Amino acid sequence: MSVFHVVEKFVSINGEGQHAGELAVFVRLRGCNLKCSYCDTRWACTEDAKAEEMTEAEIVSYVISTGVKRVTLTGGEPLLADNAIDLLEAFAAHKDIIIEIETNGSVDIHPFAEIDNPPAFTLDYKLKGSGMEDRMLTDNFKYLKSKDTVKFVCSDVSELDRVCEIVDKYRISDKCTALISPVFGRIEPADMVDYLITHKRNDIRLQLQLHKFIWDPNKRGV
């Protein structure tokens, strides 16, 4: 059995991604290798963040106990966890559980995409405003399938030109869903819509973080 450091686990709705608005169990693992300027879970990224030690069997048992079929593994960066593949394989053995991983774009997803009953990936591409664009692994785009998502969090409208460049260069919309999302409070969503209209980007979808409108933007466990 492997041990995972779980800083948070709860049931809510997916705030973003292809399944926004659907019930999901969230399991947040400790630690991250990036320091994005707009990170809203920085508290979960430090090595000394308070966490519950759980085995993969205990995590799966918790998820089953909720009665919710969709699971989101998040962080931090969940794929950095020691033996993360053990946790994914434990979930994969339960065919009625649907697994989604939110990953920051700097970790090779290939090993995780090759397991039986692989998860769906919500793969970030960090733009210049994050301060982390040089850490992105564009080879990850090769392993994406229709159930996956590439998410671009934009700090200002000028970054949308870069989004279009990446989407076109790697033919992302031919493989999966391409989402743009604003850094909360830093860019007006209406301006992003205007950009999509002006540039006729039928292949890119705007999405807002639902949980930040339903609850206080800083509230945890939602």
Going by the annotation, the residues of the binding site for substrate are 13-15, 28, 74
Residue tagged 């989101």 (tokens): 72
d(CA 192, CA 180): 9
104 closest CA partner among 82, 134, 125: 125
> Phi and psi (nearest 5°) for 28?
-105, 120
CA distances from 216 to 172, 188, 221 (A): 33, 18, 11
Neighbour tally for 209: CB within 10 Å: 17
Q: Which residues are annotated as a binding site for S-adenosyl-L-methionine?
A: 38-40, 76
Amino acid making up residue 64: I
Q: Which residues are annotated as a binding site?
A: 13-15, 28, 32, 36, 38-41, 74, 76
CA angle, residues 204, 175, 133, in degrees to nearest 5: 65
Q: Which residues are annotated as a binding site for Mg(2+)?
A: 41
